[in-house]
Amino acid sequence: MQEKYALELIEKGKRIDGRKFEEFRPIEIKPNVIKNSEGSADVRFGDTRVIAGVKLNIGTPYPDTPEEGMLRVGAEFSPLAAPEFESGPPGEDAIELARIVDRGIRESECIELKKLCLTPEEKVWCLFVDIHIINHQGNLLDCSALASLVALLNTKIPKLEDDKIIRNEFEKPLPVVFKPINITVGKISDKFLIDPRFEEENILESKLSIAIRDDDKICSVQKQEKMELSLEDIERMVDIALVKSKEIRKLVK
């Protein structure tokens, strides 16, 4: 019902909550909401709400990057957040979301992973970014990517004493040098829109998620949903994302 109504409105050039096609819902960013994490953020796009937390541990580096810290992004679609979410190991959508957020952070080179090396080939910092969905009202990806970025920007590296981590005492902030912003552009009835609400998301023909760095370089792209796109569609969607990423980046301190 809601979907049909949303579609009718979109065809008339309107949206279910009265926004313009290229307008975000109100975005609210709260950094450092979880005391026990090394960095965290609570981000809302309208009713959609995601908490991201960063934990640091010491681990052995990957053999192909012996002098770099490690990054791992995970996402949990907790059954508390939406009726269609089920308990159990992460499903396909949660895995995809985490991997897209991971690529945005990794490929933008926003974290200086070389500075997270303690002893080459032996000991490095492992960064775990965990995304927890609290309320799913659409556009989880952009909200999760932003929550992860803000959490990283507020992450502090714990103190070490004889190679033991002293929790709650910190040495220095995590070296973050870029701010990659993820923008998902949806296509429906030859119209393009951003920040879809849940009802709109269900009727989108196609989506393109684009992560963009401060210097306007594209660092990750993923096409989602069933329908195909033309090259012209993609160019249009990239242009929208380029403009809109700046708008969000201004909100991030």
Partner 1 sequence: MKEKLISDGKRIDGRKAEEFRPIEMKLDIVSRANGSASFRFGNSVVVASVFGPRALTPRHLQKPDSCVLRCRYNMAPFSVDDRKNPGPDRRSKEISKVTRLALEPAIFLEEFPKATIDAYIEVLQADGSTRVTGINATSLALVDSGVPMKDLVTACSVGKIDDTLIVDLNGKEDNNSEADIAFAMMPSKDKITLLQMDGLLTKQEFLTAIKMAKSYCKKIYELQKKTLKEKYENVD
Summarize as ranges the residues that interact with partner 1 (CB under 8 A): 64, 90, 92-93, 95-96, 98-99, 103, 106-109, 208, 213, 216-231, 234-235, 238-239, 242
Q: How many CA atoms lie within 13 A of 76 on its CB side?
A: 13
The minimum distance between CB 69 and partner 1, in angstroms, equals 19
Query: What burial letters (b/e) apply to 202-233, b meaning 16+ CB within 10 Å?
Result: ebbebbbbbbbbeeeebbbbbebbeeebeeeb
Element (H, E) at 201: helix 198-201
CB of 216 to partner 1, least distance (A): 7
Q: For the CB of residue 61, give the shortest distance to partner 1 in the complex, in Å.
A: 15
CB of 226 to partner 1, least distance (A): 5
Beta bridge partners of 71: 127
Between residues 128 and 170, which has the closer beta carbon with respect to partner 1?
Answer: 128
SS3 label, residue 157: strand
Paired tokens of 130: 């965990």
Tell me whether residue 171 or residue 239 sits nearer to partner 1 (CB atom): 239
Nearer to partner 1, 122 or 239 (CB): 239
